[in-house]
Structure 1
Amino acid sequence: MELRQLQYFIQVARLQHVTKASEELHVAQSAVSRQIHRLEEELGVRLFMQRGRNVQLTPVGQLFLKRVQSVLQDLDRAVNEIHEFMDPELGEIRLGFPHSLGTQLIPQVIACFRKLHPGVKFRFRQGMYPSLIRDIVEGEIDLAFISPFPERHEQVTGEVVLTEDLFAILPPSHPLAGEESIHLAELKDDTFVLFSNGYSLRPLVWDACRLAGFVPTIGFEGEETDTIRGLVAAGMGVSLLPEMAIYQTGTMMPAVVKVREPHVTRTIGLIRRAGEKPQAVVKLFHHFLVDYFNGHYKPV
């Protein structure tokens, strides 16, 4: 069984057409058909059946496809690891992060890193707290920014790279909109606009309100900082957002007021799999991030 046969098989299975597969592979149709036939002979089964001008996987072909894709993915990963070991400047980094960091922090960091290491590629994955932890543990991503930082997790390690304050955001017409700072309890009678369940900022705001002596009344929920900010600006309620999420511009902007009590912060951590030696390119990026946050990060 040859690697070429498996590659031809996957392409035909994906396109369900031998001619189209041969065009994408830049080889003759007869060569693709011959290799598929040899593969079927070696396995002793039919992998495809004819459906008009197209072909369709047989049940055993579907089973074989899943296994072959897994094998080739492992092979590609092994080849990439060798290349990255030899030259980390040409590697790929799989980076995860929550949506709230996607509009400002991540673009800033990546742009700065790429100026120093233009050959490094990135593959991004956005997700909520549980999914980012899972993706790290299962090896789907190499590094992840996460908030809050998981202080105790057997399969994850890392460090806090940033701590930032949460500010109250109010409709421009709100009676407290012109104040320099407020006590959070002053908003106990207001309707709150919160993130949906599963987003780490929701329990932060909820716990802050409880600490201030009240349970917030939830009027609206959203899944993006832009949505929360826009709903508040439109007079739908009040909320708390982290510092980097409020320094934006737009036609619908809420008033921003400092919360003097309780002092509400969120930690942003950088995590990776525990007990695993990172690839050279990941190690390079990790060292860059530690240096970056130790002296270069400023919200804009």
Structure 2
Amino acid sequence: MELRQLYYFVKVAKKEHVTQAAEELRVAQSAVSRQIHQLEEELGVSLFIQKGRNLQLTPAGQLFLKRIEVVLGDLEKAVLEINEFMNPEVGEIRLGFPHSLGIQLIPQVVSGFRKQYPHVRFKFKQGMYPSLIRDLVKGEIDLAFISPFPENDELVVGEVLLTEELYAVLPSKHPLAGRESIVLSELKDDEFVLFREGYSLRPIVWEACKKAGFTPSIGFEGEETETIRGLVAAGMGVSLLPEMALHQAGPLQTAKVRIESPIVTRTIGLIRRSNQKLPLVAKVFYKYLLDHFSK
């Protein structure tokens, strides 16, 4: 069975006329008739019956058309995807990132990249650390921003883009809200608002508190940066958040205070699968990000 036969079959089925199909295909009528006849012989069924001057699909022909249209549609999509894969100025980049980077960093780098490559599309997927690793390894995303950077994972490779300091986030009326800096142990008697289990910022905050000599008392938990900030602003506790998560203003305001001891940081990295080449458009974006953060 040849691909040409399938294209001829679909065209005749749509036109219900060999001559009209041949004219649109720009081939001889006899060539179309011959290919249809060979296809019917190979399948062992009649695909068309004559009805006046036109051809009409048999029940077998109707079934075959339904399946073949799906096959040819998938083939066209595959060809398009390959062309996009090889073209750095078009195509789609599937990018994963944690919620805390969605406020400032992701919009900033994507808008900057699209000024150079306006026809590139992005498909975003937010998630926690384990799900980002899983989605990348399974091939559901091409690249992922991740924090902390995975040092010993054979399935992914990448680069550390930056190290970011975490600040104490306090209710505006907190006794320490007016200070320029504090030591973390000064918050040992406060209740903390933390991310739920599975979010990468939670163990960073937890370990920082342990290093400061206390175990944080958890009053509330959340799943998004804005939820954490909102709960703190409403006086439900204190928290530690990275600076880039504190730029977006809202109706409830928090105080941002630097922690002088211990210094609390997180690494933010960019990772890709270690055993597979990136699509060309994603490779260009990868290089753009490395250049962007090196500056």
TM-score bin (small chain)? 0.7 to 0.9
Amino acid at match of 1:133: I
**Partner SS state of residue 88, structure 1:** coil
Partner of 1:129: 129
- Give the corresponding residue for 2:63: 37
Partner residue of 1:275? 275
The aligned counterpart of 1:23 is none
Q: What CA RMSD, in Å, does the superposition of the two structures yield over aligned residues?
A: 2.8
**CA spacing shift, 1:274–1:75, aligned 2, 3 Å:** farther
In the TM superposition, what whole-angstrom CA distance separates every residue of 1:160-184 from its partner, at most 9, and x where no partner exists?
Answer: 1111100001111111111110010
For 1:213-235, what per-residue CA distance to the aligned partner results, in whole angstroms no more than 9, with x for missing partners?
10000000111111100110110
| Alpha-carbon offset, residue 294 of structure 1 | 1.0
CA distance in 1, matches of 2:214, 2:75: 53
Cα deviations by residue, 1:37-79 (Å, 9 ceiling, x for unpaired): 236999xxxxxxxxxxxxxxxxxxxxxxxxx89x987974564
Partner-residue secondary structure (3-state), 1:89: coil
- Corresponding residue of 1:205: 205
In the alignment, what sits opposite 1:80?
Answer: 81
* Counterpart in the other structure of 1:193: 193
Q: TM-score, normalised by structure 1?
A: 0.75
Once residues 136 and 79 of structure 2 are traced to their aligned partners in structure 1, the CA distance between those partners, rounded to angstroms, is 18
Measure, in 1, the Cα distance between the counterparts of 2:161 and 2:94.
18
- Cα gap change, 1:74 to 1:159, in 2 (>3 Å): farther
Q: Which residue of 2 aligns with 1:114?
A: 114
How much does 1:95 deviate?
0.6
The number of equivalent residue pairs is 245
Deviations 1:232-276 (A, max 9, x none): 011000000001011221210111100001100011100000032
Match in the other structure for 1:143: 143
Give the whole-Å Cα distance in 2 for the aligned partners of 1:76 and 1:237. Answer: 52
State the structure with more CA Rg: 2
Distance 1:41 1:97 in 2: 38
Q: Any conservation in 1 of the 2:103–2:248 contact (CA below 8 Å)?
A: no
1 CA distance for matches of 2:181 and 2:231? 21
Aligned CA distance change for structure 1 residues 35 and 175 (closer, same or farther; 3 Å): farther
User: Could you state the TM-score of these two structures normalised by the residue count of structure 2?
Assistant: 0.76
Q: Contact 1:81/1:279 (CA < 8 Å) preserved in 2?
A: no
